[in-house]
């Protein structure tokens, strides 16, 4: 098969930043996806429905002319989130979840939640209103090995959280381990996970191939080959609890090629194409549409898209960099080939 027609996919985990940077990257996503869940970790974070409304307008204004792309907004949970904000968000029609960043876990998470007890009333209200909780699932204890932080989070936080709020719908974002796959498979109803292209394509050895590779550094960090294999099995399984979320997270080149480089991989320029490589290599191209275009919409209780995109198996070379506001970004696979392109 050299061409593949898919119902238009959606990206259920995306960072587009703001201002001139937003204008540089949003077109890549809008060319491929119908909708995307927009992460709220701006500086300062998007903590209220009013801030999300303004951010949503900035995204719509930055879209290429004629685009029908829809940003789906999320709010950033803090220790002082007001339970009434859940009602404002649910009533808005454009906020589709609240994001839990354990304080200090990842890029721009310093305003995140330090103790889940602090947001008990918010989580209760979210359960009542059917609002989705998106979770960056890593413990933040500096003594826990960085490769163990996700697995530790499952036992310490996710299991108790899912039992304490049995109706709360939770997306375990950007899962990276075999343990996360097993947790989702054995979890109660209402729990799902997103998977990125980099965690399906690479293991942690890639971070050090011939020297340190700052453009392959993201959080949660790449894991072992058995972890990667478990993620691919989950993605291609047809299990609707696993769906597409790129976590495309652009950072200016100089902030990654630095003594202390930022976490985040930019993949929006080739997102669906990279997933097609994974499914193709696994002999599962027939399962890509479920993962990319059905299961996320179903979980978020939104209609599936109705138009289609076509992918062609024809290699192209990714540019070494793209503009990013007044800076530049180095995209995933820079200078190398991607096996599929969008028609
Ligand atoms: C994300 C970012 O840069 O905003 N970085 C990352 O490495 N994934 C934050 C996140 O999703 O954790
Ligand atoms: Zn994250
Ligand atoms: Zn992210």
State residue 217 phi and psi, 5-degree precision.
Answer: -90, 120
In a mutational test of the pocket of ligand 1, which residue from 46, 199, 218, 329 has the highest number of ligand atoms less than 8 Å from its CB?
218
Using CA atoms, how far apart are residues 243 and 191, in angstroms rounded to an integer?
12
Average pLDDT over residues 36-61: 98
Using CA atoms, how far apart are residues 342 and 274, in angstroms rounded to an integer?
11
Using CA atoms, how far apart are residues 130 and 125, in angstroms rounded to an integer?
8
**Is 343 inside any structural domain?**
no
In a mutational test of the pocket of ligand 1, which residue from 104, 111, 202, 249 has the highest number of ligand atoms less than 8 Å from its CB?
249
Average pLDDT over residues 61-74: 98
Average pLDDT over residues 174-201: 98
State residue 82 phi and psi, 5-degree precision.
Answer: -85, 130
- Report helix, strand and coil shares of the chain as percent, to nearest 5: 40, 20, 40
pLDDT attached to residue 107: 86
Domain count, the chain: 1
Q: Is 219 in the pocket of ligand 1 (CB under 6 A)?
A: yes
**Is 341 inside any structural domain?**
no
Using CA atoms, how far apart are residues 147 and 224, in angstroms rounded to an integer?
9
Q: Ligand 1, residue 106: give the atom nearest the CA.
A: 12
Average pLDDT over residues 235-252: 98
**Is 83 inside any structural domain?**
yes
176: tokens are 């990276």
The CA 220 to ligand 1 mean position distance, Å, reads 8
**Is 336 inside any structural domain?**
no
Q: Which is it for strands 322-324 and 191-195: parallel, antiparallel or unpaired?
A: unpaired
Give yes or no for residue 243 having a pLDDT over 70: yes
Q: Ligand 1, residue 251: give the atom nearest the CA.
A: 3
Average pLDDT over residues 222-246: 99
pLDDT attached to residue 312: 98
pLDDT bracket for residue 338 (50, 70, 90): very high
Nearest to 42 by CA among 23, 18, 19, 25: 18
Q: From its phi and psi, is residue 211 left (phi > 0), alpha (psi between -120 and 50) or beta?
A: left
Instruction: Tell me the residue range of the domain where 128 lies.
Output: 9-304
**Is 309 inside any structural domain?**
no
Give yes or no for residue 291 having a pLDDT over 70: yes
At 184 the three-state DSSP class reads helix
Residue nearest to atom 6 of ligand 1 (CA): 264
**Is 127 inside any structural domain?**
yes
Give yes or no for residue 1 having a pLDDT over 80: no
Average pLDDT over residues 160-176: 98
Catalytic residues: 247
Residue nearest to atom 12 of ligand 1 (CA): 106
Give the CATH number for residue 193. 3.20.20.140
**Count of other CB atoms within 10 angstroms of residue 44:** 10
**Is 71 inside any structural domain?**
yes
> Please, what is the average pLDDT of the chain?
98
Q: Is 264 in the pocket of ligand 1 (CB under 6 A)?
A: yes
Q: Which is it for strands 11-14 and 322-324: parallel, antiparallel or unpaired?
A: unpaired
Give yes or no for residue 167 having a pLDDT over 70: yes
**Is 89 inside any structural domain?**
yes
Q: What is the DSSP letter of 177?
A: S
pLDDT bracket for residue 161 (50, 70, 90): very high
């Amino acid at each position: 098969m050299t061409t593949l027609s898919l119902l238009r996919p959606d990206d259920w985990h995306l960072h587009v930043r703001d201002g001139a940077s937003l204008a540089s990257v949003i077109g890549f996503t809008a060319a491929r996806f119908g909708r995307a869940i927009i992460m709220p970790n701006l500086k300062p974070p998007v903590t209220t429905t009013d801030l999300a409304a303004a951010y949503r307008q900035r995204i719509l204004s930055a879209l290429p002319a004629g685009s029908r792309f829809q940003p789906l907004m999320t709010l950033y949970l803090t220790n002082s989130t007001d339970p009434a904000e859940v009602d404002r968000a649910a009533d808005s029609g454009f906020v589709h979840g609240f994001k839990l960043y354990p304080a200090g876990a990842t890029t721009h998470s310093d305003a995140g939640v330090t103790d889940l007890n602090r947001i008990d009333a918010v989580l209760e209200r979210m359960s009542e209103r059917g609002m989705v909780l998106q979770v960056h699932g890593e413990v933040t204890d500096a003594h826990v090995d960085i490769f163990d932080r996700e697995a530790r989070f499952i036992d310490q936080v996710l299991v108790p959280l899912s039992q304490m709020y049995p109706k709360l719908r939770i997306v375990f974002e950007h899962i990276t381990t075999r343990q996360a796959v097993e947790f989702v498979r054995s979890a109660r109803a209402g729990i799902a996970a997103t998977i990125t292209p980099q965690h399906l394509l690479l293991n942690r050895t890639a971070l050090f191939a011939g020297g340190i590779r700052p453009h392959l550094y993201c959080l949660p960090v790449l894991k072992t080959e058995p972890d990667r294999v478990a993620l691919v099995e989950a993605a291609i399984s047809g299990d609707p609890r696993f769906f597409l979320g790129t976590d495309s997270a652009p950072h200016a080149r100089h902030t990654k090629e630095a003594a202390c480089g930022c976490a985040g991989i930019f993949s929006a320029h080739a997102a669906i194409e990279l997933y097609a490589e994974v499914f193709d290599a696994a002999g599962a191209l027939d399962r890509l549409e479920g993962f990319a275009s059905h299961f996320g919409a179903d979980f978020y209780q939104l209609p599936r898209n109705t138009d289609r995109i076509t992918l062609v198996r024809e290699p192209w070379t990714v540019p070494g960099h793209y503009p990013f506001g007044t800076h530049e970004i180095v995209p995933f696979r820079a200078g190398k080939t991607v096996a599929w392109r969008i028609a």
